[in-house]
Amino acid sequence: MDISFKNVSYVYQYNTPFEHRAIEDLSFSVKSGSFVAIIGHTGSGKSTIIQHLNGLIRPTSGSISIGNFNLSASDKPKNLKELRSKVGIVFQYPEHQLFEETVAKDIGFGPKNFGIGDNEIMERIQQACTAVQLPNDLLERSPFDLSGGQMRRVAIAGVLAVNPELLVLDEPTAGLDPRGQQDMMDMFYQLHKQKKLTTILVTHSMEDALKYADHVIILNKGKKYMEGTPTEVFANKDALSKVQLDVPEVIQFLHEFKERFEGEITYSNQSIKQLASELTNQLKGLTNNE
């Protein structure tokens, strides 16, 4: 699904003393099938963007198109339900949204709401469980008896069961242990490739943005601050630190190396092994030149 934001502003409690401008004159586009990371501090407008993506709110000014759907201050799509069946949003701590008696019912809730037949729902539950690597014998258990990581997988399976074309992930790995974080992100990346999804990842993790995204958008105080490929964006360490954002740790280290040894290595997705060997060559080269 192609997405485009054109000069979008959103004001909370418009025309009241509590008026608060959350995003301002924001324009960007996301190509169908791409993996985009949106990064910014708390209060930079990330959550407001997410709420636009499935029509929970409409822009105060400007216009948004998501596939064939258009949103603007005057344009309320008649078929919001159809939009929401195509846009799956995994909110922060999605396990807080679980409510059904059994895991199967919770996963099936979305498709049921969209009028999918019972047989099809059963199939989708199966597929969603496979996708999030949730063992089948948990299906008849109460979701509240599961571990935190399993609960989160159930919640995500519920979003996937609707078969979205656009998947929006808001800090999906928060609170998980290191392996849980990596497994979860690898799973989303695999789904992204397999199902040819368009994926928007809202994150604080520069490391994840670097590892998975094709395109990065940096927000600051409701405005677009930078955008580009991860390597392009993260090459601008100074511009990022101006808005108090860090670069990924590996790039930070290369900067510190450069300051200390005056040897420069550009980051281009090298493995840690490759980096160590390039840095070693630099060290040796520096000595030979002296």
Partner 1 sequence: MSNSFVEFRNVSFRYGDDQPWVLKNVSFQIQSDKWVAIIGHNGSGKSTIAKLMNGLLFPQEGEIIVNGLIINEETIWDVRKSVGMVFQNPDNQFVGTTVKDDVAFGLENRGIPREIMIRRIDESLKAVGMSEYINHEPHRLSGGQKQRVAIASVLAISPNLIILDEATAMLDPKGRFDILQVINSVRNQERLMLVTITHDLNEIGYADKVIVMNNGSVWAETTPRALFAKEKDLKQIGLDIPFVAKLAKEFIELGIPINKTPLNHDELLEELWIYHSKM
Which residues make up the interface to partner 1 (CB under 8 A)?
Answer: 41-43, 147-149, 174-182, 204, 206, 244-246, 249-250, 252-253, 256-257, 260-261, 272-273, 275-277, 279-280, 283-284, 286-287
Q: How far is the CB of 286 from partner 1 (least distance, A)?
A: 7
Residue whose CB is less far from partner 1, 115 or 238: 238
| Complex with partner 1: residue 60 or 182, whichever CB lies closer | 182
Round to whole Å and give the CA distance between 137 and 60. Answer: 47
Contact by Cβ (8 Å): 228, 217: no
Rounded CA gap, 7 and 284, in Å?
Answer: 52
CA angle centred on 121, ends 116 and 125, rounded to 5°: 145
Residue 117 or 175: which CB sits closer to partner 1?
175
At closest approach, how far in Å is the CB of 66 from partner 1? 27
Shortest Cβ distance from residue 70 to partner 1 (Å)? Answer: 33
> In the bound complex, what is the minimum distance in angstroms from residue 98's beta carbon to partner 1?
16
Shortest spacing between CB 92 and partner 1, in angstroms: 9
Q: Taking Cα atoms as reference points, which of 31, 28, 41, 32 lies closest to residue 220?
A: 41
CB of residue 68 vs partner 1: minimum separation in angstroms? Answer: 35
Beta-bridge mates of residue 220 = 223
- Cβ pair 224, 28 in contact under 8 A: yes
Single-letter residue type at 104: A
Q: Which of helix, strand or coil describes residue 220? A: strand
Structure tokens at 181: 């974080």
Q: Quick one: 9 or 205, whose CB is closer to partner 1?
A: 205
Closest to partner 1 by CB, 7 vs 280, is 280
Amino acid (one-letter) located at 271: S
Q: Which is nearer to partner 1, 40 or 62 (CB)?
A: 40
C-alpha distances (whole Å) from 235 to each of 36, 58, 204, 226, 247 are 18, 34, 17, 11, 8
Residue 279 CA to residue 262 CA, distance in Å, equals 11
Name which of 78 and 260 has its Cβ closer to partner 1. Answer: 260
Q: Where are the alpha helices (DSSP H) in 3-147?
A: 46-53, 80-86, 103-113, 118-131
Q: Is the dihedral of CA 81, 56, 187, 122 positive or negative?
A: negative
Nearer to partner 1 by C-beta: 161 or 184? 184
Of 109, 103, 111, 105, residue with least CA distance to 85:
111
Q: How far is the CB of 126 from partner 1 (least distance, A)?
A: 25
User: Shortest approach of partner 1 to residue 24 CB, angstroms?
Assistant: 19
